[in-house]
Chains A and B, each alone.
Chain A
Amino acid sequence: MPKILLVEDNEMNRDMLSRRLERRGYAVAIAVDGAEGVTFAARELPDLVIMDMSLPILDGWESTRQIKLAPATAHIPVLALTAHAMAGERDKALAAGCDDYDTKPVDFVRLIGKVEALLGVVSAK
Chain B
Amino acid sequence: MTSSENTTLAASGPADAIYRSIVEHAIEGIFQTTPDGHYLLANPALATIYGYASVAELTSGVREIARQLYVDPARREEFIQIMHEKGAVWGFESPIYRKNGSIIWISENVRVIRDANGAVLYYEGTVQDISDRKHAEEQLRRAKTAAEEASRSKSQFLANMSHELRTPLNAIIGYSELLHEEAEEMGEKAFCQDLKKIEKAGKHLLDLINGVLDIAKIEAGKMEVHTEEFDVADMLQDVGSTIAPVIEKKGNRLVIEIAPEVGKMHTDLTKLRQSLFNLLGNAGKFTENGVVTLSARRQCEMDRDWIIITVRDTGIGMNNEQSSRIFEAFTQADSSTTRKFGGTGLGLTITREFCRLVGGEATVTSLLGKGSTFMIKLPARFEVPVQSTEIGAGVLRQLLHGAAAPEDESQPLVLLIDDDLTIHDLVKRFLHKEGFRTVGAQNGSDGLEMAMRLRPSVIVLDVMMPTMDGWSVLSRLKGDPYLANIPVVMLTMVDDKAMGYTLGVDDYMLKPIERVDFVGVLRRFCDQSNPGSVLVVEDDDASRELVRNLLEKDHYSVVEARNGLEGLERLADMVPTLILLDLMMPHMDGFEFAATVRKIPRLEKVPIVVMTAKDITSDDRARLEGHVSRVLQKGLYGKDELLAEIRTRIARVSPAPLMTAA
Q: Decide if B170 is an interface residue (CB 8 Å cutoff).
A: yes
Per-residue CB contact flags for chain B residues 165-208 toward chain A (1 = under 8 Å, else 0) read 01101110111011001100000000000000000000000100
**Looking across the interface, which residue of chain B has its beta carbon closest to that of A108?**
B177
Q: Determine whether the beta carbon of B226 is less than 8 Å from that of A85.
A: no
The residue in chain A whose Cβ has the minimal distance to the Cβ of B170 is: A105
Residues of B within 8 A of A84 (CB): 163
State in angstroms the CA–CA spacing of A106 and B203 once bound together. 11
- Shortest Cβ distance from B168 into A: residue: A12
Does the CB pair B178–A13 fall under 8 Å?
no
Contact A104 B177 (CB under 8 A): no
- The answer to whether B174 and A108 have CB atoms under 8 Å apart is yes
CB distance from B633 to the nearest CB of A (A): 66
Closest Cβ–Cβ distance, residue A82 to chain B (whole Å): 12
Min distance, Cβ B172 to any Cβ of chain A, angstroms: 9
Q: Which of A14-22, A31-39, A61-69, A113-121 is found at the contact surface with chain B?
A: A14-22
With an 8 A cutoff between CB atoms, is B270 at the interface? yes
B226 in contact with A87 (CB, 8 Å): yes
Question: Knowing A104-B170, A105-B206 touch, does A19 contact B178 (C-beta < 8 A)?
Answer: yes
Residues from chain A with Cβ under 8 Å of B174 in the complex: 13, 16-17, 20, 105-106, 108
Total of A-B residue pairs, C-beta within 8 Å: 38
A1 at the interface (CB under 8 A from B): no
Nearest to A86 among chain B residues (CB) is: B224
- Chain A residue contacts of B182, Cβ below 8 A: 23
Query: In the complex, which residues of chain A have a beta carbon less than 8 angstroms from the beta carbon of B170?
Result: 13, 104-106
A23–B178 CA distance with the chains assembled, in angstroms: 9
A83 located at the interface, meaning its Cβ lies under 8 Å from any Cβ of chain B in the complex? yes
In chain A, residues 1-55, which have Cβ atoms closer than 8 Å to a Cβ of chain B? 10, 12-13, 16-17, 19-20, 23
Determine if A88 is an interface residue (Cβ-Cβ < 8 Å): yes
How many Å lie between the Cα of A12 and that of B146 in the bound state? Answer: 42
Chain A residues with CB under 8 Å of B178's CB are: 16, 19-20, 23
Does B210 interact with chain A (Cβ within 8 Å)? yes
Judge whether A104 and B224 touch: CB under 8 Å: no
A17 to B177, CA, bound (A): 11
Residues on B with C-beta less than 8 A from A13 are 170-171, 174
B residues sitting closer than 8 Å to A (CB atoms) are 163, 166-167, 169-171, 173-175, 177-178, 181-182, 206, 210, 224, 226, 270
Write 19 A-B pairs (CB below 8 A) sorted by A numbering: A10-B167, A13-B170, A13-B171, A13-B174, A16-B175, A17-B174, A20-B181, A23-B181, A83-B163, A85-B210, A87-B224, A87-B270, A88-B224, A104-B170, A105-B166, A105-B206, A106-B170, A106-B174, A108-B177
